[in-house]
Amino acid sequence: MDSTKIRNMEEFAAFSGVSRPTVSRFFHDPDSVRRVTREKLERALERCDYRPNIFAINQNRKLTKNLGIVVPYLADPFFAEIARRIETLIIAAGYRPILLSSHGDTRLEIENLDSLRAIKPAGVLLAPLGRSSDISAIEKFCLDVPTVLFDSNIDGVGEAFVGHDNFQATSVMIEYLTRTGEPPVFFEMRDPPNPNAGKRRKAYLESMSKKELDQQIIQIDGDGWQLEEIGYRGAVKAIKGKELSRSTVFCSNDRLAIGFLTAAYELGLKVGLGSDCDLRVAAHDNHPVSHFTCPRLTTISHNFAAIAQKSVDTIMDLIESGERSQERKTTLFDGELIMRASA
């Protein structure tokens, strides 16, 4: 490697003996320059440590190859999994994913969008915080940048929405639980950060009402994304306080259920399907850890693959057409019942 420090494209052009415009074309598309020139530039790259500033290159292009992904809370394995799938598809399509987490913070969500706007992305896939989002600011961003929402919908915002059918999924679980045992009590946070929690509560109420079954909702205190801890503390309080009117519990999401299972174990209650069991516990999301709880958690799975694929296909169609959608489309995918030992 040559000891000369190369700081920018002009210096690399002088170092390689190739004109600046030709060097620029090479970094945009290596096949756009002659083979002899391409080989010369590749040899020059091997002799120095220069790598172009991709973001700077993109800012000089009408259409960049950057594609933003914004999720509410990347430390949540659910969002990590769907983001991983989306990233993989974006890379396969020849684009560069830029993944940002809002960490449950309204201000940071907007800062993330402002950061993406500054590098002129070709498009953005946004899973918004939901009810805590600054909807006006997101609307303004979507006017500037082609944006597809996924997981959490904000009516009328963005070019399209792709997500999970919470009503279908919840009704499937209610059907299963009522067919195999006592009707479920619904266990949720009073102020949930998960933007889909309200849809699940509403679906529980509607499904139980259709079956003419008594409803019970236990709302637990807590805020933020430490859902297992919140679920654990809420379950301890509910069990000790004899708040459960029935022996079947349907948790709003798997992370609350993981906390519930821990509380039940510590309080000497057996969870499962056997005649010697005290409780059945089910949940929603198919969290990656739900397969390894004790007992293994019965849940509803999102169609991760289909949601990721449709989200990426939709944003790519927008980018390639260069036109905004005439009509905002919503695509929902059914959930799948995953029967395990807890219910």
pLDDT score of 56: 55
- What pLDDT is stored for residue 53 in this prediction? 63
Cβ atoms 146, 318 nearer than 8 A: yes
- d(CA 160, CA 312) in angstroms, rounded, equals 11
Express each pLDDT in 278-317 by its tens digit.
Answer: 999 999 999 989 999 999 999 999 999 999 999 999 999 8
User: Is the per-residue pLDDT at 183 higher than 90?
Assistant: yes
Q: Which of 137, 92, 87 is nearest to 112 (CA)?
A: 137
- The answer to whether 233 and 215 are in contact (CB under 8 A) is no
The answer, yes or no, to whether residue 91 has pLDDT greater than 90, is yes
Mean pLDDT, to the nearest integer, of 91-106?
Answer: 94
| pLDDT higher than threshold 60 for residue 23 | yes
Q: What is the helix (H) or strand (E) element at residue 299, kind and residue range?
A: strand 299-301
Q: Cβ atoms within 10 A of the Cβ of 119, count?
A: 15
CATH topology of domain 66-163+305-332: Rossmann fold (3.40.50)
CA–CA dist 49, 3 (Å, integer): 9
Would the pLDDT of 161 be above 60? yes
Q: Which of 319, 15, 292, 16 is nearest to 147 (CA)?
A: 319
Per-residue pLDDT tens for 235-281?
Answer: 999 999 999 999 999 999 999 999 999 999 999 999 999 999 999 99
Q: What is the pLDDT of residue 8?
A: 80
pLDDT at residue 332 is higher than 90 = yes
DSSP of 36-73, one letter per residue? HHHHHHHHHHHHS-----HHHHHHTSSS-SEEEEEES-
pLDDT at 3: 56
Q: How far apart are CA 47 and CA 180, in angstroms?
A: 69
At 29-64, the pLDDT tens digits run 787 788 888 889 888 888 887 777 655 555 555 567
Write the single-letter amino acid at 158.
G
pLDDT by residue (tens digit) across 312-322?
999 998 888 77
Residue 72: band (very low, low, confident or very high) from pLDDT cuts 50, 70, 90:
very high
Residue 63's pLDDT is what?
61
Report the Cα 248 to chain-centroid distance in Å. 29
The answer to whether residues 82 and 304 touch, using CB atoms and an 8 Å cutoff, is: yes
Average of per-residue pLDDT across 189-195: 88
Does residue 9 register a pLDDT over 90? Answer: no
- What pLDDT sits at residue 334? 97
177 CB-near residues (< 8 Å, 6+ apart): 183, 184, 248, 250, 280, 282, 343
Q: How far apart are CA 299 and CA 254, in angstroms?
A: 7
**What pLDDT, on a 0 to 100 scale, did the predictor assign at position 138?**
95
- Report the mean per-residue pLDDT for the chain: 91
Token duo for residue 335: 């959930």
* Residue 325 pLDDT level (bands cut at 50, 70, 90): confident
Q: Which residues does 201 contact at the CB level (< 8 Å), separation at least 6? A: 186, 188, 217, 252
- Three-point CA angle 155, 160, 161, nearest 5°: 65
DSSP letter string over 138-173?
HHHHHHHS-EEEESS--TT-SSEEEEE-HHHHHHHH
Percent of the chain with pLDDT over 70: 95
* DSSP conformational letter for 290: G
306: left (phi over 0), alpha (psi -120 to 50) or beta: alpha
Give the three-state DSSP class for 246: coil
Q: Is the peptide bond before 121 cis (omega within 30 degrees of 0)?
A: no
pLDDT at 242: 96
pLDDT, residue 135, reads 92
Decide which of 1.10.357.10, 3.40.50.2000, 3.20.20.30, 3.40.50.2300 is the CATH code for 166-301.
Answer: 3.40.50.2300
d(CA 170, CA 206): 10
Domain limits, the chain: 9-52, 66-163+305-332, 166-301
- State yes or no: pLDDT of 127 exceeds 60: yes
